Amino acid sequence: MTSKRCQTAAPPLTRIFILEESLQYRDFLRAALGEYSDFTVAGEASTADDVEARCVADRAPDVIIVSAAEGKKLAAATRLAHRVFPQAKILITSEITNRKNVLRAIEAGASGYINREAPSFEIAQALRAMRDSGGYLSTAAARALVDTYRYRTRIESFQRLTARQLEILKLMADGRTCRQIAHVFDIKLKTAQKHRLMIMKRLGVRRQSEVIEYAARKGLIALTA
């Protein structure tokens, strides 16, 4: 009897385009992708304007890796890459993983975001996740989006504060106690305490330091050095 060999299907080949100014980092990405049999480099460019011209003929990319540090440049490059290859997904690699950068990238059309210093196995993990399920965010990028949600929630909550509550918030940020606030507004101590609890709950803050930071950001108080 002859035994049949088990045959496993080859993984789908994902075509990657690299958009990165630094030749050194492009070399790193090319070498990193070369470690895996399910990726092939369909082209590379140093500027967004060269994306279409540098892509290998008849090999439109499945994923475009866009690398930039500054948020506005990153968003502009993402939009341009998306216009040239609307079916391709965009993976951002950036040295900066803050709320503003991540949000700009996502709003510009990116499907993934990782740190520029990510090792090759995480790059491969991100690309496979984007290929199979549509998107990938590093832990830091996901945390930045959560912070964005919290920040926007606080802004909406701030806009719902009454004029009296805004005045109380300012006094709270100045370090006034509930007893002092009650004296200023000629209200009962319990009423001042209720206002304080309601304001902190609405803004989603728990500590006095967060109250000061928030009030300073909204221009209610000025921080001195």
Which pLDDT score is estimated for 1? 47
Express each pLDDT in 152-161 by its tens digit: 555 555 567 7
Which pLDDT score is estimated for 108? 85
State whether the Cα torsion 33-39-43-49 is positive or negative. Answer: negative
Express each pLDDT in 94-141 by its tens digit: 887 887 788 888 888 888 899 888 899 999 999 998 888 778 888 888
Show the DSSP H helices in 160-188 as ranges. Answer: 163-173, 178-185
Express each pLDDT in 167-186 by its tens digit: 888 888 878 888 999 999 89
Domains and CATH numbers, the chain: 14-145 (3.40.50.2300), 160-217 (1.10.10.10)
Question: pLDDT averaged over the chain?
Answer: 79
CB 43 within 8 A of CB 70: no
Using alpha carbons, select from 112, 121, 107, 120 the residue that is nearest to residue 140: 112
Express each pLDDT in 73-91 by its tens digit: 778 888 888 888 888 899 9
Task: Answer whether residue 165 shows pLDDT above 60.
Answer: yes
Triad 38, 87, 41: Cα angle to 5°: 35
Which pLDDT score is estimated for 126? 92
